[in-house]
Amino acid sequence: MTPLRQSELRERITILGDVNSASFVPWIRRHADKLGLSQDFFHADANRIELEVVGPVELIDMLEMGCSLGPIDVWVDEIQRRIVEPPTYAAERHLT
């Protein structure tokens, strides 16, 4: 995962539902790449996908919207997001 720039967030995203499609993780990767978001996947099974993404909050919002609509062969019930590293951390890192 790349280091944060000042306007970026690192968020943990958990996608819940019928997400068993083998195409969904590559679909998420492809869309995150198009948005310029770096991502690391930590878990993927029939009911849950967990990943961390880094980028501007507006682009993370776009990825969330895309995942909620998703490909036709998955059903997303819920998407949970948690900030892992707040944006002020990147600015503070450069002050020390």
CATH class of residue range 9-95: alpha beta
Residue 58 sits at φ, ψ, to 5 deg, of -65, -35
The reported pLDDT for the residue numbered 66 is: 97
Each residue's pLDDT expressed in tens, for the chain with a length of 96 residues: 556 565 899 999 999 999 987 889 999 999 999 999 999 999 999 999 999 999 999 999 999 999 999 899 999 999 999 999 766 554 554 454
H-type helices in 6-84, by residue range? 24-35, 57-69
The reported pLDDT for the residue numbered 3 is: 61
Domain coordinates in residue numbering, the chain: 9-95
The reported pLDDT for the residue numbered 1 is: 56
The reported pLDDT for the residue numbered 96 is: 47
